Structure 1
């Protein structure tokens, strides 16, 4: 992400995640929305990557480094990088933008000699779930989260970066 693009990225996140509003309570949506616009991604050496199409930002993702708190509402610290807030502009989906952003995070993590990379995604984010599985991420149910104690499970995934390298 270039300096000065954070507001564009945050607006893209909100637009991208808007379709999920119907799956959660008003309270849950407010927490999710606040996470998407939080400044947590500007702390702790997290890296924000963007994808452009025709000069416009159409996708973004945050890569949190290992050994930091990636979630405002969870004190857990992973020993590997964590992919967060993958967002693709609704009108540009299906062009491989999300996959390319995740692949970039995987490459960066490998280049930094990490053995694994992880992520969490909500159970109702079906396309994201399918993408992550197709890319080789494996479920780690013991790391699942239920941030609001409302039955909505945020599923944990991990990829062994030493496989097939």
Structure 2
């Protein structure tokens, strides 16, 4: 039996830390130095920089189950494009349809904006995420080695027209 979850899209006190904690929990199984303290500092910085409450076209969605935040996704207004950000689920909630609901809300919101496209930035090695992004119509437009939060790595930028 699938547990019930709900999605909220209002910004609340503590949401920066909720997003950081979701990334800690969501990526801890990936291991290695890639997703340690430097990664979490990078996530915190990007969330603070986006300043979601100050930009009406930017929005975040949180999935909550049994009083716990178990996933999130966001769209950040970048002028003529939106940026899909911070898509993450806790490991125990993967496969329950929560990620699909979060991404569906994000993509519907993006399609309602006056943007030409939506893009995302990621790194290689996240096969499940890549498959999901490709199913949503994102295509790789940049793939290059460059400095990342953990040192060098393969940076990927994907885009989908709206």
TM norm structure 1: 0.75
1:108 equivalent to 2:124? Answer no
Distance 1:41-1:90 versus aligned 2 partners, 3 A rule: farther
Give me the CA root mean square deviation: 2.4
- Is this contact kept in 2: 1:41–1:62, CA < 8 A? no
5+ residue gaps, structure 2, are 1-9
5+ residue gaps, structure 1, are 68-78
Deviations 1:27-60 (A, max 9, x none): x744321122232243562422111223332111
Secondary structure, aligned partner of 1:114 = coil
Aligned residue-pair number: 146
User: How many Å separate the matches in 1 of 2:28 and 2:38?
Assistant: 13
Deviations 1:121-144 (A, max 9, x none): 1101111111101121111126x5
Higher mean displacement: 122-131 or 44-53: 44-53
Instruction: Specify the alignment match of 1:74 in structure 2.
Output: none
1:15 equivalent to 2:60? Answer no
Give the one of 37, 40, 62 matched to 2:49. Answer: 40
Of structures 1 and 2, the one with the larger relative CO (CA 8 A, separation 6+) is 2
Deviations 1:59-117 (A, max 9, x none): 112211023xxxxxxxxxxx411011111011101112222222211111111132211
User: How many Å separate the matches in 2 of 1:146 and 1:98?
Assistant: 28
Larger fraction in strand: 2
- Please show how residues 55-134 of structure 1 align to structure 2 within 5 Å: 55-67=67-79, 79-134=80-135
User: How many Å separate the matches in 1 of 2:64 and 2:14?
Assistant: 12
User: How many Å separate the matches in 1 of 2:71 and 2:50?
Assistant: 15
TM norm structure 2: 0.76
User: How many Å separate the matches in 2 of 1:139 and 1:18?
Assistant: 26
Instruction: Specify the alignment match of 2:153 in structure 1.
Output: 152
- Is this contact kept in 2: 1:64–1:84, CA < 8 A? yes
Deviations 1:130-159 (A, max 9, x none): 1101121111126x5623394411211111
